[in-house]
């Protein structure tokens, strides 16, 4: 269902394919259609992807400077992104951190003492519903 939306979203003038994991942020539970128009989802994806790319480089430098574990650094980055000043939703903030982890390579994403499973890597293959923050 979301896969067909992803294919539909990649048609037209835009050649950018929006990942299923990002489209899923805009599909209400129990529904198969995104709640926002393609243009808005594409703009939000571009913002979040750019932020993930930029922050991944910054995170690598910070990790080297501070000597902290990847999961601790990602948790700190998530806290900063989620503060509201970044202009992204809570779901987008989680997506950004997951994308950062994906760009940086395999790491343990669940910080010590974290009872939530919000820092799992992005799903590969068919889209799955993500747990809330």
pLDDT in tens, 61-95: 888 788 888 888 888 889 999 988 889 999 999 99
Q: Does the pLDDT of residue 104 top 70, yes or no?
A: yes
Q: What is the DSSP string of 73-106?
A: HHHHHHHHHTTSTT---HHHHHHHHHHHHHHH-S
pLDDT at 96: 94
Res. 2 pLDDT band, cuts 50 70 90: low
Give, in order, the Cα–Cα distances in Å from 79 to each of 6, 73, 94: 29, 10, 10
């Amino acid at each position: 269902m979301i896969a067909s939306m992803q294919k539909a979203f990649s048609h037209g003038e835009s050649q950018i394919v929006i990942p299923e994991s990002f489209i899923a942020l805009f599909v209400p539970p129990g529904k198969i259609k995104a709640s926002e128009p393609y243009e808005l989802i594409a703009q939000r994806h571009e913002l979040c992807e750019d932020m993930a790319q930029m922050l991944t480089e910054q995170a690598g430098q910070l990790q080297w400077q501070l000597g902290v574990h990847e999961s601790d650094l990602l948790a700190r980055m998530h806290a900063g992104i989620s503060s509201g000043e970044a202009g992204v939703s809570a779901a987008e903030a989680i997506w950004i951190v997951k994308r950062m982890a994906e760009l940086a390579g395999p790491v343990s994403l669940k910080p010590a003492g974290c009872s939530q499973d919000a820092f799992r890597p992005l799903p590969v293959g068919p889209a799955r519903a993500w747990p809330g923050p």
